[in-house]
Amino acid sequence: MQKVLVTGATGRTGLLVVNKLREYPTEFKVVGLARNEAKVKEIWGSTEDFYFGTIKDKTAIEKAISGCNALVILTSAVPQIKGAPEPGERPEFYYADGESPEEIDYYGQINQIDAAKAAKINHIVLVGSMGGTNENHPLNSIGNGKILIWKRKAEQYLIDSGIDYTIIRAGGLLNEPGGKRELLVGKNDELLNNPPDGIRPAIPREDVAELVVRALQINEAKNKAFDTISKPPSENGENVKIDFVKLFEQTTAGL
């Protein structure tokens, strides 16, 4: 059995990952790291198997990761809207003090990777975002945070750590049911810049969570980094059968 720490566990994708891992009680023992105890109670009704603290607190990470075999990183800086925009005006964004992409997506991830290495973690699954090959991507201008640049630097740090890794760079995240779409994998933002048949470069959060779980189960996912989007859902609404081994075999190592 793998004991897995999920950070960013109360986020919209994080809670899906926790729930999916709990569907395999003989394979995984899941623990979470979160900042808000009340939010954990609201979602799961209990704080059992949760640790509380921030990824800037090395001691909190070390406590949560003790005895674990794997780590799933789902933490990310979140921009805030500045004031109330007038009708027709574009909103302005900022990052709260101490919550910039540099602090969260770079140094916060470094803290997690370093703690994982010290704890002799076997495998880290990191969920990131596509767009990191383009320094002028619009997401980098939000709050002048350069979020995709810092995420990509952290990904390289993970690759260089020597720990087995799986880096999943998701397209636009959809709050739609998973399992209804064929998944595509690629590299270097090709799926973002030239999606096949002009499909929207997006993917349901539930499918990202499924990829995380499968990455922890399938050896072919180790030491791979890839972009992922999904095709439109099946017309009949039925689930799409995916061979995840073959899917991961299409992916490659390195950024």
CA distance 170 to 185: 9
pLDDT tens-place string over residues 2-21: 999 999 999 999 999 999 99
Q: What is the pLDDT of residues 169-180, one digit of tens each?
A: 999 999 999 999
Q: Find the catalytic residue in 76, 100, 129, 230.
A: 129
CA-CA-CA-CA torsion for 144, 96, 189, 211, nearest 10 degrees?
180
The verdict on whether 129 is a catalytic residue reads yes
**Over the Cα atoms of the chain, what is R_g?**
18
Phi-psi region of 54 (alpha: psi -120 to 50; beta: other; left: phi over 0): beta
Domain boundaries, the chain: 2-249
Residue with tokens 């101490």: 98
Sign for the CA dihedral angle at 110, 116, 122, 125 comes to negative
196-253: per-residue pLDDT in tens?
988 999 999 999 999 999 999 999 999 999 999 999 997 777 889 999 999 999 999 9
Fold of 2-249: Rossmann fold (3.40.50)
